Amino acid sequence: MKRYLVGAMCLTLVAAAVYAKKLNNEQKRLENCGVVMQEVLNIPDSIPKELLEKAECVIVIPSVRKLAFGVGASYGRGAMVCRKGEKFNGSWGAPAMYALEGGSVGFQIGGEATDLILLVMNDRGMESILSSKIKLGADASIAAGPKGRDASADTDAWMRAEILSYSRSRGVFAGVSLEGSTLRPDDEASEQVYGHAIKAKDIVRSETMGVPETGRHLVNTLQKNAPHNESERASTP
């Protein structure tokens, strides 16, 4: 019996190693997005549940790093998941890969690597986010997101913003300003995840697109913590 258990454990470890080896960089990145989202939501004073329930899309960008050129300039890649349906009132759909460039994320936070989470709160500017590069603060309004009990105190701020942004660096979780940064679909990365060329807009707008195995942790985490869109827009006929 002991030999059987040892053999089974060895087979499990080998299978896990083979699976990890087969994953390309973008698939690993997508898996990491799920880990980051879960860890952030486990923080006692993190993203207010009421805001996550009102968000139409969530963008997770793990390990944003300072570039070698430009003071404070940063670069990071991650994934965006949106709710299904014309009014973004359905369940969470398949992830599309995204890239964040420029700005001064690392300089503001003071960390070498920073995890970012962006909540897209309404559909103003969503078409731009899906189709092309946008400049945050210019093409889409963005504000540092309130956390924990501070949500009610900052109601006016987050109601006006199209995107709310959060950061986690060196164990510290807080809202962060990303004005001046650019956000764009990373279709090359999406191709690596899905195995064929596909646009971010086609992924997000599809009602039948299957969630890749490496994206299930991220989608399931969102579905568990915010299964329904509780915004007034979602319920308006």
Buried b vs exposed e over 139-152: b needs ≥16 C-beta within 10 Å? bbbbbbbbbeeebe
* Residue 86 predicted with pLDDT over 80: yes
The whole-number average pLDDT for the span 110-130 is: 80
Using alpha carbons, list the distances in angstroms from residue 124 to 136, 147, 160, 221: 13, 23, 11, 25
End-to-end CA distance of the chain: 62
Question: Which pLDDT belongs to residue 130?
Answer: 85
- Here the tokens at position 175 are 């809202």
* Residue 198 predicted with pLDDT over 70: yes
- If 0-12 CB within 10 Å is exposed, 13-18 middle and 19+ buried, where does residue 230 land? middle
Domain locations in the chain? Answer: 25-235
* Residue 154 predicted with pLDDT over 80: no
- If 0-12 CB within 10 Å is exposed, 13-18 middle and 19+ buried, where does residue 125 land? middle
Q: How many CB atoms lie within 10 A of CB 11?
A: 10
Q: How many CB atoms lie within 10 A of CB 63?
A: 15
Q: pTM (2 decimals)?
A: 0.83
Confidence of residue 187 (pLDDT cuts 50, 70, 90): very high
Q: At what angle do helices 25-41 and 187-194 cross, to 10 degrees?
A: 100
What secondary structure letter does DSSP report for 142? E
Distance CA 102, CA 65 (A): 10
